[in-house]
């Protein structure tokens, strides 16, 4: 009797503990799912982009009241996370999930304090409805009459979106948190270009109503005419609204521009800049720390460049060195085909054979090189689906082969493909992460009232990969090395200049001069860069800070582990978690160091060989279901 009773009690305790365990884990999973679903609903156009068509008749809400909705939702999720999920009952992998989820929600909840700052200014020379009207037709399916009905609905809702943006601008004037002239002075010209280049039926929004529609057999002619008439009327209203937007900017908003370049000229602006840095870096760093890191890095890279230039017998400045190269035909290509072939060969012959010494368990996801359909960025990476059915694609600019200088190619290739973004995203796609972490969408102008997208991790890795290229001896000549330093110093200068503008009260001229002193870029290109930093405070700092953090963690691991340090294991610990905040990465690597030490101590005690990887957080299992739409541009 007694022993039966005891047994039942043990069983009950066991059941309860089991029940609690799985309830924390399943509650975490449920909350993450709810959040992911809600994010997609909030970004209907983006949801279309990733091939989910359930919100194709809806558009993103730009109304000021949307902030409150966002805050309430995230606050509620965060409360339920705190209340219903017991951190200590989670498995190692789930703890990381918790940390990232908590960071995502907390970022938005805390960001709400800043909703009346940059976020009130949704249009500038890099973002807004005037930037790319070909985007919506490009992402939309046009296979059925329903597809056309949805699309026209979206066109009809677009003027309201623009009105809501103007509503935010009005509020920005009221609060005294408007842009500086450099952020918006180009916008009326951008709008004017659309208005003068197109009429209603040639406007990009109308294009799907032409050939594409006429070829569709399943729609009657009278229905086609009906769709065209309605689309025409919707496009006319959009054109009208864009014209009103232009007048509004010129006649109202431009009368209230801020005069200080930096956001620290706003009330409480110094704290706002701190919040922006925190959002972009996913680390708590002061502007002074970021600035000083930048100065150190610029000095270090600059002296490396001088060493190489001396070796190459070049006496002049960095700029003169690159100018000489640009005019030397032996560093240029004759055709776009040659450029594509160069990259393909470099992947096959130079990079791939060296990967296994630095990485383990690499998924076999192929990468292809293609010409970029549009002139513009020098290269961009477009990830394939995680099942490998389509390769990742590295698109290279082939439009001006006689201006494409070979010496920057290796660094760019490493950054975008292997061991940069392609390798990073291929590995991340094999980790079973919650869906919301595969959706990277949002607007830079909203920051820090915006869902995090962890640029410092993503781009930090790609810059670290450029560095790793030196160890891997991928830069075969001193010229290739100069190409690498040329792109690296640009990222280092950004730390100095961004903080210079928003914290140290630098003038635009001083910022331009600083970058002219250390980089090879033209004054025209630098001026556009500077205007971007003024518009997106803190954003440009993410790349270098991310790289420095990964290097710092590696150094720490090497110091603590000594001969037990294994570069392949270290890289796995950084990559097999997917995109996340750097402060969480730091925790993960620290944990990995401790585990590696313990394992080493144990195996020396028991003398048993242990080949299995017991890192539980590297949950190396089934492929993610949702297609990751990931386009990374060299920015």
Ligand X SMILES: *[C@@H]1O[C@H](CO)[C@@H](O)[C@H](O)[C@H]1NC(C)=O
317 binds ligand X (CB under 6 A): no
Q: How far apart are CA 62 and CA 39, in angstroms?
A: 14
* Other CB atoms within 10 A of residue 479 CB: 20
Contact between 497 and 533 under an 8 Å Cβ cutoff? The reply is yes
Q: What is the rounded CA–CA span in Å between residue 354 and residue 348?
A: 10
Q: Is 137 in the site for ligand X (CB under 6 A)?
A: no
| Residue that has been written with the tokens 């029940």 in this structure | 19
402 contacts ligand X (rule: CB under 6 A) = yes
Choice between 56 and 112, CB closer to ligand X: 112
How far apart are alpha carbons 437 and 449 in whole angstroms? 17
C-beta of 611: minimal distance to ligand X in Å? 34
Bridge partner list, 379: 396
- Site stretch for ligand X (CB under 6 A), options 51-59, 134-142, 165-173, 410-418: 165-173
**Residue closer to ligand X (CB basis): 333 or 444:** 333
Among 170, 185, 190, 243, which residue interacts with ligand X (rule: CB under 6 A)?
170
Task: Show Cβ contacts of residue 1 under 8 Å, excluding neighbours closer than 6 positions.
Answer: none
Q: Are 379 and 372 in contact (CB under 8 A)?
A: yes
* CA R_g for the chain: 26
End-to-end CA distance of the chain: 74
CA nearest to 626, candidates 457, 436, 416: 436
Listed ranges 159-167, 304-312, 348-356, 382-390: which one lies at the site for ligand X (CB under 6 A): 159-167
Minimum CB distance to ligand X, residue 260 (Å): 8
Contact pick of 166, 275, 339, 465 for ligand X (by CB under 6 A): 166
Instruction: Candidates 36, 66, 141, 167: give the one binding ligand X (CB under 6 A).
Output: 167
- Applying CB under 6 A, among 174, 250, 267, 403 the residue interacting with ligand X is 403
8 Å CB contact between 397 and 616: no
Site for ligand X in 491-520 (CB under 6 A): 503-505, 510, 513-514, 517
Tokens of 518: 């250390």
Q: Rounded to an integer, what is the distance from CA 291 to the centroid of its chain?
A: 22
Per CB under 6 A, does 335 bind ligand X? no
Cβ-based neighbours of 574, under 8 Å, separated by 6 or more: 461, 550, 553, 585, 588, 589
Which of residues 327 and 374 has its CB atom nearest to ligand X in the complex? 327
Q: How far is the CB of 170 from ligand X (least distance, A)?
A: 4
Tokens coding 440: 């990277």
Site string for ligand X, 190-229 (x = CB under 6 A): ---------xxxx---------------------------
Nearest distance in Å: CB 561, ligand X: 27
Helix axes 523-535, 478-502, angle to 10 degrees: 40
Looking at the Cβ atoms of 201 and 629, the one nearer to ligand X is 201
Find the binder of ligand X among 64, 71, 75, 87 (CB under 6 A).
Answer: 87
Name the minimum Å distance from CB 82 to ligand X: 7
Q: 506 vs 570, which CB is nearer to ligand X? A: 506
To the nearest whole angstrom, how small is the minimum distance from the Cβ of residue 398 to ligand X?
A: 13
User: Cα 559–563–568 angle (5° rounding)?
Assistant: 90
**Do 352 and 346 contact (CB within 8 A), yes or no?**
no
Would you mind telling me the total number of residues written for the chain in this entry?
A: 635
- In the complex, minimum distance from the CB of residue 289 to ligand X, in angstroms, rounded to a whole number: 14
Neighbouring residues of 12: CB distance < 8 A, sequence distance ≥ 6: none
| Local structure of 25: helix, strand or coil | helix
Nearer to ligand X, 106 or 591 (CB): 106
Nearer to ligand X, 329 or 373 (CB): 329
Closest among 255, 280, 205 to 460, alpha carbons compared: 280
Stretch that binds ligand X, among 152-160, 162-170, 536-544, 566-574 (CB under 6 A): 162-170
CA distance 457 to 441: 15
Instruction: State which of residues 84, 102, 226, 292 lies at the interface with ligand X (CB under 6 A).
Output: 102
The span from the CA of 214 to the CA of 198, in Å, is: 21
Is residue 61 a contact point for ligand X (CB under 6 A)? no
Total residues binding ligand X (CB under 6 A): 21
Cβ of residue 503: shortest distance to ligand X, in angstroms? 6
Build a one-symbol-per-residue string for 249-288: x at contacts with ligand X by CB under 6 A, - elsewhere.
Answer: ---x------------------------------------
By CB under 6 A, is residue 38 in contact with ligand X? no
- Cα–Cα distance between 137 and 151 in angstroms, integer? 8
Pick from 439, 460, 441: nearest CA to 450: 441
The reply to whether 75 sits near ligand X by the rule CB under 6 A is no
Which residues contribute to the site for ligand X (CB under 6 A)? 87, 102, 106, 163, 166-167, 170, 199-202, 252, 402-403, 503-505, 510, 513-514, 517
């Amino acid at each position: 009797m007694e022993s039966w009773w005891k047994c039942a009690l043990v069983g009950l305790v066991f059941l309860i503990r089991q029940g609690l365990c799985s309830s924390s884990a399943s509650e975490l999973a449920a909350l993450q799912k709810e959040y992911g679903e809600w994010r997609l609903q909030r970004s209907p156009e983006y949801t279309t982009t990733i091939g989910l068509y359930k919100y194709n008749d809806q558009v993103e809400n730009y109304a000021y009241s949307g902030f409150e909705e966002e805050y309430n939702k995230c606050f509620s999720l965060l409360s339920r996370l705190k209340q219903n999920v017991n951190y200590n009952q989670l498995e190692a992998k789930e703890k990381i999930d918790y940390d990232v989820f908590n960071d995502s929600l907390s970022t938005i909840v805390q960001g709400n304090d800043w909703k009346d700052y940059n976020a009130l200014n949704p249009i500038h020379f890099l973002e807004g409805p005037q930037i790319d009207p070909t985007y919506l037709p490009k992402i939309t399916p046009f296979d059925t009459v329903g597809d056309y009905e949805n699309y026209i609905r979206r066109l009809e809702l677009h003027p309201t979106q623009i009105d809501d943006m103007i509503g935010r601008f009005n509020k920005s004037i009221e609060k005294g948190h408007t842009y500086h002239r450099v952020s918006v002075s180009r916008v009326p010209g951008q709008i004017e270009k659309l208005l003068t280049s197109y009429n209603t039926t040639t406007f990009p929004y109308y294009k799907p109503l032409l050939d594409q529609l006429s070829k569709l057999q399943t729609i009657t002619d009278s229905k086609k005419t009906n769709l065209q008439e309605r689309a025409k009327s919707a496009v006319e209203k959009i054109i009208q609204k864009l014209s009103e937007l232009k007048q509004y900017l010129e006649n109202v908003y431009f009368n209230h521009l801020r005069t200080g370049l930096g956001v620290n000229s706003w009330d409480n602006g110094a704290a706002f800049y701190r919040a922006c840095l925190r959002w972009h870096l996913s680390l708590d760093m002061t502007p002074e720390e970021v600035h000083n890191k930048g100065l150190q890095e610029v000095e270090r890279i600059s002296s490396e460049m001088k060493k190489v230039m001396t070796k190459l017998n070049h006496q002049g400045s960095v700029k003169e060195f690159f100018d000489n190269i640009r005019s030397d035909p032996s560093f240029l290509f004759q055709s776009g085909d040659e450029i594509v072939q160069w990259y393909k060969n470099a992947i096959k012959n130079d990079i791939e054979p060296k990967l296994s010494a630095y990485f383990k368990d690499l998924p076999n996801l192929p990468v292809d090189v293609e010409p970029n359909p549009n002139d513009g960025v020098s290269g961009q990476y477009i990830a394939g689906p995680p099942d490998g059915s389509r390769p990742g694609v590295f698109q290279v600019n082939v439009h001006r082969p006689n201006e494409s200088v070979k010496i920057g190619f290796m660094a760019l290739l490493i950054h975008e493909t292997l061991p940069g973004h392609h390798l990073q995203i291929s590995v991340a796609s094999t980790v079973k992460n919650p869906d919301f972490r595969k959706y990277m969408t949002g607007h830079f102008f909203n920051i820090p009232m915006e869902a995090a997208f962890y640029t410092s991790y993503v781009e930090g890795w790609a810059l670290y990969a450029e560095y790793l290229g030196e160890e891997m001896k991928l830069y075969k000549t001193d010229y290739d090395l100069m190409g690498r330093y040329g792109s690296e110093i640009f990222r280092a200068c950004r730390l100095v200049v961004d903080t210079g503008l928003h914290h140290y009260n630098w003038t635009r001229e001083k910022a331009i001069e600083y970058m002219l002193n250390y980089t090879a870029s033209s004054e025209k290109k630098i001026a556009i860069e500077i205007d971007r930093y003024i518009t997106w405070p803190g954003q440009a700092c993410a790349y270098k800070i991310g790289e420095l953090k990964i290097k710092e963690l590696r150094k720490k691991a090497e110091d603590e582990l000594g001969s037990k340090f294994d570069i392949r294991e270290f890289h796995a610990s950084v990559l097999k978690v997917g995109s996340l905040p750097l402060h969480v990465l730091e925790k993960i690597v620290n944990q990995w160091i401790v585990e590696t030490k313990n394992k080493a101590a144990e195996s020396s005690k028991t003398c048993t060989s242990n080949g299995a990887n017991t890192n539980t957080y590297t949950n190396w299992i089934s492929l993610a279901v949702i297609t990751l739409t990931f386009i990374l541009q060299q920015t």
